[in-house]
Amino acid sequence: MALLGKSLLRSKFGSYVCKARELIVNQRRCIVSCVDPSLGLTEEQKEFQKVAFDFAANEMAPHMAEWDQKEIFPVDTMRKAAQLGFGGIYVKPDVGGSGLSRLDTSIIFEALSTGCVSTTAYMSIHNMCAWMIDAFGNEKQRQTFCPPLCSMDKFASYCLTEPGSGSDAASLLTTAKRRGDHYILNGSKAFISGGGDTDIYVVMCRTGEKGAKGISCVVVEKGTPGLSFGKKEKKVGWNSQPTRAVIFEDCAVPVINRLGEEGQGFLIAMKGLNGGRINIASCSLGAAHASVLLARDHLKVRKQFGEPLSNSQFLQFTLAQMATRLVASRLMVRQAALALQEDREDAVTLCSMAKLFATDECFAICNQALQMHGGYGYLKDYAIQQFVRDIRVHQILEGTNEVMKMIISRNLLQE
Amino acid sequence: MSARVLVGVKRVIDYAVKIRVKPDKTGVVTDGVKHSMNPFCEIAIEEAVRLKEKKLIKEVIAVSCGPQQSQETIRTALAMGADRGIHVDVSGKDYENLGPLQVSKILAALAKKEDVRLIILGKQGTFASQVDFQEDSLKVEREIDGGLETIKIKMPAVVTADLRLNEPRYATLPNIMKAKKKKIDTVKPSDLGVDLSSQLEVLSVEEPSQRQAGVKVETVEDLIKKLRDSGRI
């Protein structure tokens, strides 16, 4: 019988051990009806979602606190995920991808995020880069770069933002001057996720005139002379991925590494971001889902004034609103994913709306859930604070929510 | 080896769900409750797929007895690597009365029909913690209270899977998509010549009684007195 106890602790069915973490791990698998993320999905999508939830609960959730506190980039875990097909989810199968739709991708990232937002968010950036090469690269580039990215043999980073150009991305200054069959890159990129630890850098740089039309997209490999990195940034969240400046000093990149035509770079970057925005919004959904369940469980357990908190009408109503806003956000994101995969003309605006709405709402939900935990919510022993810290940045990157409003209003006011 | 393996997979209430007894005490609530594959059946499928990967057997067939939804469970088995599925269609009153005797008759009939050499099931009786395939027989290591026991059995054989037999794999995204194309045949128990009538009748289902709080005693004499008072000794 003692053997049985030990193996239960070791085995996948660790839910039988009633530590707080195991309870959390179990709740994230859902079972609560109205916020059940599998509602309305096809059988096949439910299978994908199940694998992602199981992976998140078993391989990620038990480590998310340690990865955050020790700032560990969990290469082995991500490679395990890649073996299941999570390295290039919407990349075509002929180069190692899983060939799934944007909606399938959203469902998967939402589920993975319940295990660790920061790691899942990095995986979504990696996926975005792999897709950009798959969609805009020529045959040689696809065959060279995509397979090792899909297996996560190699990791990727997306390099657009610079110290002087964030929201005003088209004003970027990194130059790429043609010299024979190389581009010589000079300049620097800021806030690059994975920077310094990743192998493949998808870089937007200026080959031509000012503005968006002068920008091209090139693939730079780590180890290229002239490529160096700044110090690792200390962040409030997203600590399981390193963030560094990426510096180019007379860095020679082969012209054959350019994706698409000269001047097409900005378009490629923005198309990548449409999907990236859905993915980031999906990560926010996962965090909010986990937080709603954590808050609900806390309300049932915590007693004050002689009763469990769940008897308080104010808290009941607040929980109801959190759940409603979560489901509303989820619908926005999934609808945008559908529009993108169907190539509808409203897709770009819908992706912006979904990113804006979901990231704002989900942050409010996680924040409210932290408040419901009282003092305990502020302690790093409890997961809720990490969800809040990790998704705070989703309102800022891949296009600030202010830029999202610019895109939406432009669409509304166009002639 | 050209052997076929039959693996039974059962669709049960998810292990994370809190079980509730129906108000009329005829059973437990299953409507709207999340169901999944019995975790021990997952281990059984994993073992079968590993044997196939080692090229010791030719084909893995996943079987489930139950209503239409059992097909979901078979699909999960296919996504883990089973080659094809058989759904024995049993629904309504027949399903409520389906007991171990009927299921074993069904499995036996299927095993004969499909020429199966080995049946692997989720744990219920003896447990296997390691299975080695030999020419004509099987070497099975099982855990008993005293330690480990290794036995050699001739085939066709039935082996049940214990927790420590293996760690079931995650289905991969490509395998989930391939599973859609794998075949699931549907048969009726009558096609197999199996009679589903049950000799058992469920009278009532009740929740286990609440655990009573224990009582602490100060001395051994107190303990003996308490045991005598409550008629235990």
DSSP string, A86-115: ISSTTS-GGGT-----HHHHHHHHHHHHTT
pLDDT of residue A2: 40
Orientation angle between helical segments A313-341 and A347-372, nearest 10 degrees: 160
pLDDT of residue A3: 39
CA dist., res. A84 & res. B11, Å (int): 24
Whether the CA torsion A56, A58, A62, A67 is positive or negative: it is negative
CA dist., res. A21 & res. A27, Å (int): 10
Model confidence at B1, pLDDT cuts 50, 70, 90, reads low
**Average pLDDT for A214-223:** 97
- Cβ within 8 Å, pair A85-B174: yes
**Average pLDDT for A339-344:** 96
CA dist., res. A158 & res. A201, Å (int): 6
Model confidence at B83, pLDDT cuts 50, 70, 90, reads very high
Q: b/e map of A44-82 (b: 16 or more CB within 10 Å)?
A: bbbbbbbbbbbbbbbbbbbbbbebbeebbbbeebbebbb
Chain A interface with B: residues with Cβ < 8 Å:
3-4, 7-8, 11-13, 15, 26, 29-31, 33, 43-44, 47-48, 50-51, 54-55, 83-86, 89, 93, 98-100
Look at residue A161 and tell me whether its pLDDT is greater than 50: yes
CA dist., res. B100 & res. B77, Å (int): 21
Report how many Cβ contacts below 8 Å link chain A to chain B. 60
Which residues of chain A neighbour B72 with C-beta distances below 8 Å? 43
pLDDT of residue A209: 96
Look at residue A25 and tell me whether its pLDDT is greater than 60: no
pLDDT of residue B127: 62
Which residues of chain B neighbour A29 with C-beta distances below 8 Å? 16
Lowest mean pLDDT among B47-51, B130-134, B155-159, B188-192: B130-134
Lowest mean pLDDT among A71-85, A177-191, A318-332, B5-19: B5-19
**pLDDT tens digits along A259-299:** 999 999 999 999 999 999 999 999 999 999 999 999 999 99
Which residues of chain A neighbour B36 with C-beta distances below 8 Å? 50
Report the residue of chain B nearest A24, measured CA to CA.
B16
Q: Which of B34, B143, B171 sits opposite A47 (nearest CB)?
A: B171
Lowest mean pLDDT among B33-42, B189-198, B220-229: B189-198
Look at residue A23 and tell me whether its pLDDT is greater than 70: no
CA dist., res. B196 & res. A152, Å (int): 52
> Letter for the amino acid at A273?
L
Phi, psi of A286 (to 5 degrees): -60, -45
**Average pLDDT for B117-124:** 80
Collect all residues with Cβ–Cβ distance below 8 Å to A168 and sequence separation of at least 6. Answer: none
**pLDDT tens digits along B11-62:** 888 877 778 888 887 778 877 777 888 888 999 999 899 989 988 888 999 9
Lowest mean pLDDT among A148-152, B37-41, B202-206: B202-206
- Which residues make beta-bridge pairs with A304? A307
pLDDT of residue A31: 58
pLDDT of residue A178: 97
Pairing type for strands A175-179 and A156-159 reads unpaired
CA dist., res. A38 & res. A84, Å (int): 20
Provide Rg for chain B, Cα atoms. 22
Model confidence at B103, pLDDT cuts 50, 70, 90, reads confident
CA dist., res. A244 & res. A273, Å (int): 20
**Catalytic status, residue A398:** yes
Q: Answer yes or no: are the C-beta atoms of B64 and B9 closer than 8 Å.
A: yes
Pick among A28, A34, A39, A44 to test the B interface (most B CBs inside 10 A): A44
Q: Which residue has the higher pLDDT, A33 or A410?
A: A410
Q: Give the residue from A39, A17, A19 showing the smallest Cα distance to A30.
A: A39
Look at residue A9 and tell me whether its pLDDT is greater than 50: no
Q: Give the residue from A248, A193, A210 showing the smallest Cα distance to A396.
A: A193
Collect all residues with Cβ–Cβ distance below 8 Å to A396 and sequence separation of at least 6. Answer: none
pLDDT of residue B3: 82
Collect all residues with Cβ–Cβ distance below 8 Å to B153 and sequence separation of at least 6. Answer: B137, B138, B140
**Longest C-alpha distance within chain B, in Å?**
71
Its pTM stands at 0.86
pLDDT of residue A5: 39
Collect all residues with Cβ–Cβ distance below 8 Å to B187 and sequence separation of at least 6. Answer: B86, B87, B88, B89, B110
CA dist., res. B44 & res. A352, Å (int): 46
Hey, how many other C-beta atoms are within 10 angstroms of the C-beta on A232? 14
Tokens 């490529």 identify what position? A227
Q: Which residue has the higher pLDDT, A218 or B2?
A: A218
Lowest mean pLDDT among A35-39, A290-294, B22-26, B195-199: B195-199
- Cβ within 8 Å, pair A11-B34: no
Q: Answer yes or no: are the C-beta atoms of A288 and A137 closer than 8 Å.
A: no
Report the residue of chain B nearest A25, measured CA to CA.
B16
Global ipTM: 0.80
Look at residue B198 and tell me whether its pLDDT is greater than 60: yes
- Cβ within 8 Å, pair A51-B170: yes
**pLDDT tens digits along A299-314:** 999 999 999 999 999 9
- Cβ within 8 Å, pair B15-A13: yes
The average confidence (pLDDT) of chain A is 92
CA dist., res. B6 & res. B45, Å (int): 9
